Amino acid sequence: MPWFSVSKEVAVGTAMLGVAFATGVLAGKKYPSIFFGASKSSKAVIGKDSLLWQYILDHSLREHPLLKKLRLLTLDHPWGRMMVSCDQAQLMANLAKLIKAKKVIEIGVFTGYNTLNMALILPDNGRVVACDINEDYVNIGKPLWKEAGVEHKIDLRIKRASETLDELLADGEAETYDFAFIDADKESYNEYYEKCLCLVRKGGIIAIDNVLWHGKVLNPRKDDLATQSIHFLNEKLLRDTRVNISMIPIGDGVTFAFKL
């Protein structure tokens, strides 16, 4: 595709974003479905089948060969779509590196794509506390942690993440973590956020995944606890003076909270 037609698409997208924003603010948050593409797909952001997403990957993804191997392996899994988006993982690695992260918390490991991603950029004495309840998922990716020579940086804890976070707090590790990624059961998001906010130092970053939840946050149903929980935290974060925030339409939507 020639560059000018890509630019045009970007321009059209930006114009539609303007429409969505104006409509949302002026007409009591009635978001037009044209921008969010609710009719064709439930994706709230650039779809994984779109040419623009492919373009983004073709022009920015610098994936470690073992990360690529793990991604392809995970895509074969029936729950492969739970894996973090590779462009988002790269952004998080860049941010973690920028703040010279040494200690990271991963809440929801799955096959360990982002755990490996983080371990790869940490210094040799760095550490990822990796929380999951399902060891079978983790075992899929674990051999690649070893192959990459970063296994010693990963502290895997197989139990409910809230328990692990309590243990870290009980061990006196408050304010010692640099980066946390929240990506497990959505109903516990508020609890994870509060505990991470205690564990992360000033200037540290908490990344909260799936904040757009395939567009469902636009219309949270009362009986849909996952969407309610995400929407509640989104509203709370907007007013939370303990952090600065950015909500980014990458993957399924991620909010970065920068601890003040």
Ligand X SMILES: *[C@@H]1O[C@H](CO)[C@@H](O)[C@H](O)[C@H]1NC(C)=O
Ligand Y SMILES: C[S@@+](CC[C@H](N)C(=O)[O-])C[C@H]1O[C@@H](n2cnc3c(N)ncnc32)[C@H](O)[C@@H]1O
Instruction: Confirm or reject binding of residue 84 to ligand Y (CB under 6 A).
Output: yes
- State the nearest-atom distance from the C-beta of 23 to ligand X, in Å: 25
Quick check: 64 binds ligand Y (CB under 6 A)?
A: no
7 binds, among ligand Y, ligand X, none (CB under 5 to 8 A by kind): none
CB closer to ligand X, 39 vs 241: 241
Question: Which position among 128, 132, 142, 193 is part of the footprint of ligand Y (CB under 6 A)?
Answer: 132
Question: What are the angstrom distances between the C-alpha of 146 and each of 66, 110, 117, 154?
Answer: 10, 16, 13, 10
Exposed/middle/buried for residue 222 (C-beta within 10 Å: 0-12, 13-18, 19+)? exposed
Position 245 contacts ligand Y (CB under 6 A)? no
Q: Using alpha carbons only, how large is the chain's radius of gyration in Å?
A: 19
Contacts with ligand X by CB under 6 A lie at: 244, 260
Q: Could you write out the DSSP letters of every residue in 206-252?
A: EEEE-SSGGGGGGS--TT-HHHHHHHHHHHHHHT-TTEEEEEE-STT
At 24, list the tokens.
């949302």
Least separation, in Å, of the C-beta of 96 and ligand X?
19
Answer with the entry of ligand Y, ligand X, none that 244 interacts with (C-beta below 5 to 8 A by kind): ligand X
Asked if 177 touches ligand Y (CB under 6 A), the answer is no
Q: Which two tokens stand for residue 255?
A: 């909010």
Q: Which is nearer to ligand Y, 31 or 251 (CB)?
A: 251
Q: Is 136 helix (H, G, I), strand (E, B) or coil?
A: helix
Q: Which stretch binds ligand Y (CB under 6 A): 27-35, 53-61, 132-140, 233-241?
A: 132-140
Q: Does 110 bind ligand Y (CB under 6 A)?
A: yes
User: How many Cα neighbours within 13 Å face the side chain of 84?
Assistant: 32
Phi-psi region for residue 181, left (φ > 0), alpha (ψ -120 to 50) or beta?
Answer: beta
Residue whose beta carbon is closest to ligand X: 244
Name the minimum Å distance from CB 258 to ligand X. 7
Residue 108 as a binder of ligand Y (CB under 6 A): the answer is yes
Half-sphere CA count of 189, side-chain side, radius 13 A: 25
Nearer to ligand X, 7 or 244 (CB): 244
Please tell me whether residue 90 binds ligand Y under the rule CB under 6 A: no
Cβ proximity to ligand Y, 129 vs 243, nearer residue: 129
Q: How far is the CB of 211 from ligand X (least distance, A)?
A: 18
Q: How many CB atoms lie within 10 A of CB 86?
A: 19
Strand order of the sheet with strand 177-182?
154-158, 127-132, 103-107, 177-182, 200-209, 254-259, 243-248
Residue 260 contact among ligand Y, ligand X, none, beta carbon within 5 to 8 Å by kind: ligand X
Site residues for ligand Y per CB under 6 A = 82-84, 108-110, 113-114, 131-134, 137, 160-161, 183-185
